[in-house]
Homo-oligomer: A and B are copies of this chain.
């Protein structure tokens, strides 16, 4: 039930790009250092994201990456789907990555109906949360930076 590291890196990089949206492009170097992501690996991931149309790049000395659209227009689901594939726990309930499963009767499969609800919950969450929401959350978290336990010393 896990996201790949690749997917996690993609989300984190995209969040940084979203925070700097409007400013100059951000280099892999910067993203890599800021988020502790292996540079060469991140390079691949950003290349994929570029193919997806979610980011644009600028080459050369002052090159780097930026979002291809406004943060509010990019749901997390798009990023994950492009990098990792299905959001569904089993592919027989996936809308975009459907594959037949080996169970005797898919139409009457009780497990399938449960998994469909899980899928819907996850998809709805990932669909409605955009990079802009991520930025808003980050701001709130900065405002109340510490958990309750951190005041003990």
A39 contacts chain B at the CB level, 8 A cutoff: no
B1 near A87 with CB under 8 A, answer: yes
Could you write out 21 A-B pairs with CB less than 8 Å apart?
Answer: A1-B2, A1-B80, A1-B122, A2-B90, A8-B90, A8-B111, A15-B111, A35-B102, A35-B104, A36-B104, A107-B141, A107-B145, A107-B147, A108-B138, A108-B141, A110-B134, A110-B135, A113-B141, A114-B134, A118-B126, A122-B122
Nearest-CB residue, chain B, relative to A2 = B89
How far apart are the CA atoms of A109 and B146 in the complex, in Å? 12
Given contacts A35-B104, A108-B138, contact A88 B2 (CB under 8 A): yes
What separation, in Å, do the CA atoms of A113 and B89 have in the docked complex? 21
Give Cα A88 to B122, complex, Å. Answer: 11
Could you tell me if A111 and B91 are in contact, using CB atoms closer than 8 angstroms? no
A1 contacts which of B1, B37, B101, B109 (Cβ < 8 Å)? B1
Q: How many copies does the complex hold?
A: 2
A72 on the B face (CB < 8 A): no
Shortest Cβ distance from residue A144 to the other chain B in the assembled complex, whole angstroms: 9
Query: Please, how many angstroms separate the alpha-carbon atoms of A92 and B36 in the complex?
Result: 15
Interface of A (DSSP majority class): helix
Contact between B103 and A35, CB atoms less than 8 A apart: yes
Name the B residues within 8 Å of A34 (CB-CB). Answer: 104
A86 within 8 A of B: yes
Q: Does A70 contact B (CB under 8 A)?
A: no
Assess the B110–A138 pair: CB atoms within 8 A. yes
